[in-house]
Amino acid sequence: MTLGFVPDGQSSAVAAGSRVEPVAVRSLADHAVVWELGRRVAAVAERIRARLESIGAADLVTQDVLVRVVGALEKQQWLLRMQLGEKA
């Protein structure tokens, strides 16, 4: 966030700026939803992880925050995998 700037947090604005592809509009089995969510969480964590070094060169505090975000995403991914009965 920047001072003097009001972010648009509406779902349509957030989705428009996302690189995550939309989910097909159709009926999905519960395990398919959990699997897809886990795949997406993993992809976001990997994108952040790929940028950690370059971010750290410019701002160590931001890098530390993002390391914690990746840790939280990995925990969520593990929890989702456990829902599918996968071993960690």
Q: Establish if 13 belongs to a structural domain.
A: no
Q: From CA 32, how far away is CA 22, in angstroms rounded?
A: 15
Give a yes or no: residue 61 inside a domain.
Answer: yes
**Token code pair at residue 7:** 């972010």
Asked if residue 16 is part of any domain, the answer here is no
Contacts of 1 (CB under 8 A, 6+ apart): 7
Q: Which domain holds residue 71?
A: 29-83
Per-residue pLDDT of the chain (88 residues; tens, 9 = 90+): 567 888 888 988 888 888 888 888 899 999 999 999 999 999 999 999 999 999 999 999 999 999 999 999 999 999 999 999 875 4
DSSP summary character for residue 3: T
Q: How many domains does the chain have?
A: 1
Count other Cβ atoms within 10 Å, centred on residue 71. Answer: 11
User: pTM for this one?
Assistant: 0.77
23 domain-assigned: no
